[in-house]
Structure 1
Amino acid sequence: MRRVVCTGERLGLREVTEADVPALHAVYGDPATTQHLPFAPRSPQEVAVLVDRALEAAAAEPRHLYVLAVVDADRHDVIGVARLQIETDHPHSAEIGFGLRHDQWGRGIGTDLVRLLLAFGFKQLGLHRIWGARSPANLPAQLAMLTAGMVEEGRIRHHVHTPHGWRDSIVHSALEDEWTQR
């Protein structure tokens, strides 16, 4: 298994561990943080199951799913979670997703995180296309993806079912050749 460690100026990405469950619950269990996600806040037990699945996915060959802890570079504490899933039928394309503790919002951390995910996908995994979908109401995610160099592609109507009903998604993407020219 190839261990993931990526470092940026303010953030790092590393494999999640069982010890991260309480820190990840601060993301997955928070109603403010999950308001734009397609699920209700998770319990600590549900987060533990997600971590177990992430550990199983990390051992898979070939590996298609990366669930990574977002670590503050100075304090070394887990402040969020990042996900990159390589498409099975299109192995040069991957979807990203991310969540940060709400006390980290408004500091440009989301943009740094998207940049780190793009660098990981393009430089370390050799991907050609990386995309992400967001809630139309999630303007901070829109700003983070656009500022990081992703392009808004359009709207997928009734893309995901949430606890509040069907929700559209706005898709953003970056292509490897465009990204390397930045």
Structure 2
Amino acid sequence: MRRVVCKGGRLWLGEVTEADVAALHAVYGDPGATQHMPFAPLSLPQVAGLVDEAVRAAAAEPRRLYVLAVLEPGEPEAIGVARLRVDAEHPHSAEIGLGLRPDHWGRGMGTDLVRLLLKFGFKQLGLHRIWGARSPANLPAQLAMLTAGMVEEGILRHHVSTPWGWRDSVIHAALEDEWTDR
């Protein structure tokens, strides 16, 4: 297994470990942080299950799922989570997702995180297309993806079943030959 490390100016990405469960629960267990995700806030044991799944996925060959801790240099614990899932049928394409602790919102870190995921996918994994889906109501995610250089492609109607009903998704994507490492 190749360990993932991807460093940006303000944020780093590294492999999720069992030591990250409490820090990731601050994202996945927070009602504000999960309001645009397709699930209700998760319990600590549920987050531990996600981390176990991430650790198993890291050992898979070929690796299709990257669940990475979002780190600030010099800080002792993760401030968020980033996911990149490589499409099994189209291995040059991947979907991204991310979440940050609410105490880190409003500082441009979402944009930095999207940029870091694009850099990781294009430079380290050699992907051609990276896309992400967001809730139409998630305007900070829209701003982060557009500012990071992703293009809004359209809406998938009733794309995601959530505990609150069906939700549309707005799709954003970046292509390797159009992307610039800003």
CA distance in structure 2 between the partners assigned to 1:129 and 1:74 by the alignment: 32
Contact 2:20 2:77 in 1 (8 A): no
Moved over 3 A (4+): none
CA distance in structure 2 between the partners assigned to 1:156 and 1:82 by the alignment: 22
Percent identity between the two aligned chains: 76
Contact 1:4 1:14 in 2 (8 A): yes
Contact 1:10 1:74 in 2 (8 A): no
Indicate the structure with greater helix content: 1
Aligned length: 182
Aligned-CA RMSD value: 1.0
Correspondence for 2:35: 35
Counterpart of 2:91 in 1: which secondary structure? coil
| Structure 1 unmatched ranges of 5 or more | none
Task: Please tell me the residue identity of whatever aligns with 1:120.
Answer: F
Counterpart of 1:62 in 2: which secondary structure? coil
CA distance in structure 2 between the partners assigned to 1:173 and 1:76 by the alignment: 32
CA distance in structure 2 between the partners assigned to 1:39 and 1:135 by the alignment: 12
Aligned runs of 1:36-75 on 2, under 5 Å? 36-75=36-75
CA distance in structure 2 between the partners assigned to 1:10 and 1:76 by the alignment: 14
1:97-146 CA-to-partner distances (Å, cap 9, x unmatched) read: 00000010000000000000000000000000000000000000000000
Query: 1:158/1:35 Cα in 2 relative to 1: closer, same or farther (>3 Å)?
Result: same
| Structure 2 unmatched ranges of 5 or more | none
Correspondence for 1:4: 4
CA distance in structure 1 between the partners assigned to 2:16 and 2:41 by the alignment: 19
TM-score (norm 1): 0.98
